[in-house]
Structure 1
Amino acid sequence: MKAFISALLGYDPEEKTLEGGILGVVKAYYGCVEAQGRGTLHCHMLVWLEGGLNPNEIKKRVLEDPEFGKRLLAFLNDTISVDPDLNLTVPSDDHHPCSVRGMPVDPESFSPQRQKDLRNVVLQCQTHTHSKTCFKYWKRPPEPKTCHLDLHEDNFPGESYVDPETGEIHLRCLDGLVNNFNATMLEAIRNNMDIKFIGSGASAKGILYCITDYIIKSELKTHVAFAMLELAVKKLGEYNPLEDDIMIRALQATST
């Protein structure tokens, strides 16, 4: 996370440098790391940009100044990617794209290799497949069965636009099942991600609720902790042909 903040966001928490990164000049950030039920860690982060406006100011400025709205949409379209159609004629690799740090640096084929690598990571990490959890808030017919993550096959406005009456910003979505991502971030972290611009009062309320929820979140539940310990014991007890029986028994006894 320190490397992410320093290299990608271009921000030094100690020196408060303002060199700028892939999102622009970062004024401040707030992040918290969460452990999922399976024990894996992931971070939720809110980033403030230097010179940024609050949601109410953005709404007013967009409605009063169409040119400002065009520049803002151009910035957002450049920052938030939604296009999985990345050189589809190039075949995928046999290995999992997240198992490597990237592609070999070859000046002659860098661009197509990078495009191929990004495509594979997008298809593996950002493409959504519906599960039962997606519809946990569905109230049954006659209510429409919609994914609570707002990822649907038919959700793909081709162009970004600003609602002239409300000032709400609606970003383009070229594939309704591909979650928003920043290409540079995704290439670096090589894991699923989500990125959202907080440009309205509704979005601000949602993120405030999310941050508050994580601040007061309870510790890891007991049954989840025991499940993790059980998995650790099983992993430690797996057969290794390079070890003799005495070592295996000692390892299992210790872990138990």
Structure 2
Amino acid sequence: MYAENEIDPEKLAPENFSKASERAQLMHLDPVAVAKYFNTIIQAIINILIGCNKKNNGIFEAVKNYYSVVEYQDHGTPHCHMLIWLHDALDLILLCQKLKNDNEFWHYLLNYISNIVREDINYLCKKGELITNKMVKAECLTPKTILEKQMHFSFLPIPDPRLPDFKKKFCLDLLTICKRTLFHYCTKACKKFNRDLQKHCRFDFPRELVDPPDIIFPEQRVIAIQHISAYFNNHNSYITTACRGNNDIKFISTQKLALACIHYITDYITKLDISTYSSFLICASILETFLDQLSNNDSYNLIDKSLKLITKYLNKMTGQTELTSPQVSAYLLDIDDHYTSNKFVNIYLQTFKSHLMKE
């Protein structure tokens, strides 16, 4: 954005901030910068905040493993889905048994979850002050001046931890980000499909409220975390401040739910951009063309015919997948579309086919 210019963010005047449309245009003109910047941010979160590659623990304490997948939206902006496994985490049966018999562990677990997963922003206010959903919605709907629209959080200086009033400035900075990015108020976009028939928000707002303090029901294997704000995303204070934007965080206590989340975020890599009926039309078209070609050449045996047909179909379906310019740039720069502490061996179609043929 300010290429080849030395800029001091603390001295940069707000009236010199670029507009949102200008930032979007620059993003499309330089997708390589988008891919590099996002990779730098995610690597910093993994290495510094989560602390996966350092001796000292991060914000989640000792982390055993992590797995995340990068998804690119249609207009090219990337975001990340991440799962984190903690060291010495108990399985569900042992967890329920310990919660029944160990009152100290009960309070420790609830305190840990409430500090890591924030579901409200009133903890950032002064004593006696309270922010309601109506107040935040009214603030969001108030028309912004041109200067306010240009003042994006990524340009604003981060509070210096060496200052004596750092905690106060940190809370004020975090409160500003939360009100602008974590609060949801429904618009037409919430009913993207069948607006006349769809009654509920497709983003699952308002969220279900849990009024009493955090409660654990070991017999039912339920941990009811307090939720008093129906229109705020769950968030982590440090990740929100570091990313300067929206994030959502959840405590997962069961293996079944963890596997479901793995399937959900991994499915982004393999999902198709075309509808089911379009896929069937493509299959029919490929099959018809393939049969016409085979009628003039009967030298193929049954296995070769099947392999060739599958290869044609896979190539055609892969060719229908839409890739954004930052995503293509990331692949060309050898930036992974996933992050994990494990190592995997890449399997390519041709190598896999050769192995099956040998078997």
Asked whether the two chains share a fold, i.e. TM above 0.5, the reply is yes
Deviation of 1:225 (Å): 5.0
Q: Calculate the TM-score normalised by the size of structure 2.
A: 0.52
1:11 corresponds, among 25, 35, 52, to 52
For 1:161, which of 208, 215, 220 is the aligned residue?
A: 215
Q: CA separation of 1:20/1:38 partners in 2, compared to 1, >3 Å: closer, same or farther? A: same
The residue correspondences of 1:74-153 to structure 2 (distance < 5 A) are 74-85=111-122, 86-87=124-125, 94=148, 95-103=151-159, 107-132=163-188, 134=190, 145-152=199-206
Q: 1:198 to 1:153 in 2, by over 3 A?
A: closer
Partner of 1:21: 58
- Paired positions, count: 220
Check whether the contact 2:69–2:266 (CA below 8 A) recurs between aligned residues: no
Q: 1:10: Cα distance to partner?
A: 1.1
Deviation at 1:132, TM superposition (A): 4.4
Is 1:39 the counterpart of 2:76? The answer is yes
What is the CA-CA distance between 1:201 and the residue it aligns to? 5.2
- The two structures have a TM-score, normalised by structure 1, of 0.71
Q: Is the 8 A contact 1:18 1:26 kept in 2?
A: no
For structure 1, which runs of at least 5 residues remain unmatched after alignment? 227-256
| Paired amino acid for 1:70 | H
Q: Distance in 2 between matches of 1:73 and 1:123?
A: 25
- Secondary structure of residue in 2 paired with 1:99: coil
Letter of the 1:122 counterpart: C
Q: Is the 8 A contact 1:18 1:27 kept in 2?
A: no
Residues 188 and 23 from structure 1, CA distance in 2 versus in 1: closer, same or farther, beyond 3 angstroms? same
Q: 2:249 matched to which residue of 1?
A: 195
1:18 deviates by: 4.2
Counting helix residues as a fraction of each chain, which structure ranks higher? 2
Indicate the SS of the match to 1:19. Answer: coil
Aligned partners of 2:181 and 2:245 also within 8 Å: yes
Deviation track 1:8-53 (CA, whole Å, cap 9, x = no partner) reads: 01121xxxx4421000111111111110112101111111111112
Q: CA–CA distance in 2 between the matches of 1:116 and 1:204?
A: 34
Measured against aligned partners, the alpha-carbon deviations of 1:184-227 in whole angstroms (never above 9, x if no partner) come to 1111111110111111356335313313413423479667859x
Greater shift, 71-80 or 162-171, is seen at: 162-171
Aligned to 2:109: 72
CA 1:203–1:105: 2 relative to 1, 3 Å: same
Change (3 A) 1:105 1:220: farther
Identity %: 29
Q: Which deviations, in whole Å up to 9, do the C-alpha atoms of 1:151-205 show, x marking residues without a partner? A: 3177252521112431211211231111001101111111110111111356335
- The equivalent residue for 1:175 is 229
From 161, 186, 193, give the equivalent of 2:240: 186
SS at match of 2:108: helix
Structure 1 or 2, whichever has the larger Rg, is 2
1:103–1:113 contact (8 Å) kept in structure 2: yes
Q: Secondary structure of 1:97's partner?
A: coil
Higher relative contact order (CA 8 A, sep 6+): 2
